[in-house]
Each structure stands twice: as C-alpha cells, then as structure tokens.
Amino acid sequence: MRLIDGKAVAEKIQEQIKEKVAEMRLQSQRVPHLAAVLVGNDGASLTYVSNKVRACEKVGFRSTLIHLPEYITEAELLAQVQALNENPDIDGYIVQLPLPSHINAKKITYAISPDKDVDGFHPTNVGKLALGLPTFVPATPLGIIQLIEHYQISTEGKHCVVIGRSHIVGLPMSLLMSRNAYPGNCTVTLTHSRTANLAEETRRADILIAALGKPEFIKAEMVKEGAVVIDVGITRLPDASKKSGFVLKGDVAFEEVAPRCSYITPVPGGVGPMTIAALLKNTLLAAEKVV
Ligand code: NAD
C-alpha cells in the first residue's frame, strides 16, 4: 500500500506557481489577483476562505477577501458579483458556499462571469468540461486528477466508481475519469444515495472515489484488493481531547481499508490540500487568459 501525500504534491505545485509569479514580477507583469466572497460567519467556511487567501499570499498572488454579513440580501450580493465581474483588477473570484438559505446559490453562481469563475461551477464551464474543452475544472476534482498524474497511476481501461453526484465533486469527477485523456479513459460508474447495492458496485472498482460526506462509511469489505482509493470526504466530529474541539474524518474507514489498497489518500493530508493548489492553478489560468 502506498500513501498518497497530497500535502507534499500540493506544496510542489504551489512552489511551481510561486516561481511563475516571481518571473511575472521580474518582467513587470501584473500578478494574478483572486477575490473571495464570504457571507456570514460559518466556522468551516471561515477556515476554508482564510486558507485560500493565505495560500494566495504564499505564492505571491494578490488576494482580496470580501466578508459580508449574514443578513445581506440576494440583490446586494448580486450587485457585489456584478462589481467583481466588471473589475479589471480581479482575474478570478469565488463565492464561498454554502450561502445563507435566503439567498439562491444557483442565481449567484450563474451570475459569475465564466471568465472569472475559477471554481468552475458556472454552466458554461460545466458544459465545456463535459465537451472536453479547456476550462476551469472545479478545484477538488482537478486536485484529484493532479494526484493521479503525480503518482502515475494507470487509469486507461480501469473501472472507476465515484460515490456522490454533487456538482462540485462527484459529477465533474465522473466526467474527468471518463474523458479520452490521461488521467481518464476509465469505465465510470457514478453512484449516489439512490444506488441499489452500493457495496456490489464499489467492490468492482479499480479506482474508488468517495465523496459522500459520511464519516468512515467505506469499510474494508466494500473495497477490492489492490484498489486505488481516493477519499474526498471531510467531516468534523467533536473531540474534546483536541485543542480545536474536533477531529477530521474521511468517508473511508482508513485503518481497515488501507491494507487492501494499492494507493490511498489520508484525511487530512490527501485531497484537501490539493483543492487549494488547484484553485491557485485556475487563478493563474484566469490571469493568463488561457481559458
Ligand atoms: P454533497 O452533500 O453535495 O453530496 C453528497 C453526495 O453523496 C450526493 O450526491 C448523495 O447522493 C451522495 N450520497 C449521500 N449518501 C450516500 C450513500 N449512503 N450512498 C451513496 N451515495 C450517497 O457533498 P459534496 O459537496 O460533494 O461533498 C462530499 C464530501 O466531500 C463532504 O464530506 C465534503 O466536506 C467533502 N469535500 C471535500 C473537499 C476537499 O477539499 N477535500 C472539497 C469538497 C467537498
């Protein structure tokens, strides 16, 4: 069994981006500028957004955090989105999800200019992804693709089972693994909460990608011997022994599943750090106007 070290791969990618930004500075080019919009004070969202802003600073990007109060109206948020679309100083931006329930998240996502949509959630970008055209690939699936590439894991002709059909992870992941490219060329089964006999499906997987958000849901008997297991899940479970008061758990029961795998990602330190590196990569693409 080989442990996939997402932290190390993410650091390497960030180092490459940092060098690229240093070069841009040297040639007096403007450096990429990412904005992040955060509404309200959800603890996990605050952590995610501040990690993204910090990562920008580390590689030399400019970053702007726009922190708005929980009670902001949908119209006010749409006006903020419009202002970011029109601001030539901003290359790309994200609106951190989830949004408060009085705001229609779809309406906000669809209002983001596709050219600045570094999360890759806009229908134009999802359509491009489905057609295999260059676009902003959502950060978590892009991070997973980069991990598979880094470890030179073979994918052609393999059976890949994705658990979860969300628009930010499972669905784009299934498109990427089935495309005619490397990594890709898999036969993909996309499973979800209505899938009958999930374990029967997962046991057939050469590559299993779990993104359902249920801690330690995947047990050893659900995994084929020698499978590659990518654990996307992150759930905070209360733990009084920790300073933070919680512990992070993946969707895979790591201790019992790991011995069966050829490769496995840990939680934390697997997919999570890659998501941020992928967002930086998308911001660089946005600044270079190559998408
Ligand atoms: P989501 O809640 O939007 O989607 C979950 C999906 O899992 C749904 O499609 C649902 O049908 C499916 N599902 C739920 N229960 C199931 C079951 N019993 N059997 C089969 N399928 C089932 O979640 P999401 O946004 O896609 O996130 C999934 C997990 O990944 C969460 O834990 C989230 O925190 C984590 N996540 C991690 C990163 C990262 O950077 N590592 C990024 C995004 C999401």
Q: Which of 291, 287, 290, 279 is nearest to 119 (CA)?
A: 279
Q: What is the pLDDT of residue 251?
A: 98
Q: What is the pLDDT of residue 133?
A: 96
In the block, which residue shows the tokens 């676009």? 135
* 243 labelled catalytic: no
Q: What is the pLDDT of residues 28-54, one digit of tens each?
A: 999 999 999 999 999 889 989 999 999
> Residues near 185 by Cβ (< 8 Å), separated by ≥ 6?
155, 156, 157, 178, 179
Identify the residue whose C-alpha is closest to ligand 1 atom 19: 193
* 29 labelled catalytic: no
Q: Which of 283, 269, 270 is nearest to 56 (CA)?
A: 283
Residues forming a β-bridge with 252: 218
Best of 48, 197, 232, 280 for a ligand 1 pocket test (most atoms within 8 Å of beta carbon): 232
Identify the residue whose C-alpha is closest to ligand 1 atom 5: 212
Neighbouring CB atoms inside 10 A of 143's CB total: 28
Q: What is the pLDDT of residues 40-94, one digit of tens each?
A: 999 889 989 999 999 999 999 999 999 999 999 999 999 999 999 999 999 999 9
> Residues near 129 by Cβ (< 8 Å), separated by ≥ 6?
120, 135, 137, 172, 175, 176
Distance CA 126, CA 86 (A): 22
How far, CA to CA in Å, does 111 sit from each of 120, 255, 265? 13, 43, 35
Q: Which of 97, 94, 271, 32 is nearest to 173 (CA)?
A: 271
Which bin fits 213, alpha (ψ -120 to 50), beta or left (φ > 0)?
left
Distance CA 52, CA 48 (A): 6
Instruction: Find out whether the peptide bond into 268 is cis, omega within 30 degrees of 0.
Output: yes
- Measure CA 284 to chain center: 16
Q: Where are the beta strands (DSSP E) in the chain?
A: 2-3, 33-39, 62-68, 92-95, 159-163, 187-191, 207-210, 228-231, 235-238, 246-249, 263-264
Q: pTM of the entire structure?
A: 0.96
Spans in the chain with pLDDT lower than 50? none
Domains contained in the chain, CATH given: 29-119 (3.40.50.10860), 139-272 (3.40.50.720)
Ligand 1 binding pocket (C-beta < 6 A) is 140, 163-166, 168-170, 191-193, 195, 198, 211-214, 232-235, 271-272, 275
Query: Max alpha carbon distance in the chain (Å)?
Result: 58
Distance 214 CA to ligand 1 centre (A): 8
* 119 labelled catalytic: yes
Joined together, the tokens standing for residue 157 give 């002709």
Contact 270, 6 (CB under 8 A): yes
Distance CA 160, CA 163 (A): 10
> Residues near 30 by Cβ (< 8 Å), separated by ≥ 6?
24, 287
